[in-house]
Amino acid sequence: MSASQYQRNADMEAAAKKRRTRLISALVFIIAVVVIVGSFVVNSNYFYTGTAAVTIGDTDFTAAELNYLYYNLAGNAGFSDTSSLDEQYYDENTTYEEYFRQQAEEYLVNLTVMVSAAEAEGMTLSEESTAYVEEQLTTADAYAAVYSNGNTDSYLMSFYGKGFDRETFQRMLEMQALADQYSAQKLESFEYTEEELKAYYDEHKDEFDMFEYYVYFVENGDDAEAAYALADEIALAETAEEFAQNVYDSASEEDKPNYEDPESTRYISSGTALDSYDYGAWLKESGRSEGDTTVIESSSGGGYYVLMFIDRDSNNYESVAMRHILAQVTADENGEYTTEAINTARAEIDEVVAEYESGDMTEDSFAALAEEYSDDTGSNTNAGLYEHIYHNQMVQPINDYIFDSAREPGDTEVLYYEGPNYAGYHFVYFVGTDGLYCDYIAETAMSTEDFNDWMAAETAKYPVTEHYSIRFVG
């Protein structure tokens, strides 16, 4: 090889080496950039707010929006700690993480359907809905001031995960509020004739009728034959009073205090509720008459039910509406209601009555007082209003008052009740009757069925596509 050839080869080799070095350097640079960018993406909110986790119809939703529903569903199910839901199983094949993610997705589909329908009809948030959203935002701001140095985004993120902020919270609240408005309007849009309501009720009377009966369970213990003989003896009763006395006499000395009240074994249940009991079918049999008794063996084999049938109510009566204001008696450390506490509650309700009687004494003025003074958390945010009240829904003094045939709209009364769960004075305003209760039951069931059918047809129009970011839900 000549010197010149050798030099050319050496130059070529050097050039190749230089090119390889540049290539390796470029590859190292590219890998470094990918690592840096990847690290940035993973540690940022990108997968939570920067890209769609799911597309419903033509609308994209982020993981942050889904997480709002996911964590609410998990919390409502009793999971305060959601860190290990991927290790806990809802059923044999589904973890709770997968279950709540699926539920959140289905809930979001329903929200999308109703919001889209509302917007198509020109519906906007009502003043009441707007006020509710503002109240929730204000509450979040107040808690953030205490727990997150005034940073609402940080406070909300502690509940709903990365990327969730006040703006997302407001958007989700507004979606839910508009969906609630539309669903209420849609349910009310279905109309039925009296004949249709009656026919539907008659078809489902075994579910809707109310059954009054007495029942007592005799355990087998060590002697099943003796248990059956005792149950059979109790069933010899011919009246409700005899049934209650037979139960008391057969109870052990330890249990007798539980049956001193003759009403302790009396129940009123809907036909639907009875379906879960071994004796439900017997109570529903046609031709059942007051005073009929029977003994039915438990399906578990643990003993025998003794029953006495009293009545079957077809709900063919006028339901009623009322407003009320509760002044609750505060129990002492032993759970007892002292005379002093009872007198305090009486003085409170007397002040409310005096304020009512000093005004125009209208339903509106009563409603305003209910929102201001009532201790009943079930109605004080609704101006004390209860509608479509059925027999025995309320405690006995109220039930007897509002279903008195002499009752007129605008009647008021102060009633005292003391029971195992609370004691207090009720200032009651009778609004009036609001239609046959059997019709209300049928209409509620029919409109719910029609609404569900409508929802099923609409959701079929909204295909769901999951994206990579769905992994960041939960």
- How far apart CA 24 and CA 31 sit, in angstroms, is 10
What average pLDDT does the chain have? 91
- How far apart CA 425 and CA 397 sit, in angstroms, is 11
Tell me the two tokens of residue 50.
Answer: 């920067």
- 148 Cβ neighbours under 8 A, 6+ residues apart: 154, 155, 158
pLDDT at 17: 53
Summarised one tens digit per residue, pLDDT across range 384-426 is 999 999 999 999 999 999 999 999 999 999 999 999 899 999 9
pLDDT at 45: 85
* Domains of the chain in sequence order: 50-189 (1.10.4030), 210-313 (3.10.50), 318-436 (3.10.50.40)
CB burial string 47-86: b at 16+ within 10 A, e below:
bbbeebbbebeeeebbbbbbbbbbbbbbeeeebeebeebe
DSSP state of 49: I
For the sheet containing 59-62, what is the strand order? 59-62, 52-56, 464-466
pLDDT at 378: 86
pLDDT at 8: 46
> Taking residues 71-79, what's their average pLDDT?
93
Summarised one tens digit per residue, pLDDT across range 332-371 is 998 999 999 999 999 999 999 999 999 999 999 999 999 9
Tell me the CA distances in angstroms from 275 to 102, 199, 207, 266, 282, one per residue in order.
Answer: 30, 22, 8, 18, 11
Q: Can you name the residues that pair with 304 across neighbouring β-strands?
A: 218, 297
What is the pTM (predicted TM-score) of this model?
0.81
- How far apart CA 128 and CA 184 sit, in angstroms, is 14
pLDDT at 230: 96
Summarised one tens digit per residue, pLDDT across range 137-156 is 999 999 999 999 999 999 99
In the chain, pLDDT over 70 holds for what percent of residues?
91
Q: Do 67 and 165 contact (CB within 8 A), yes or no?
A: no
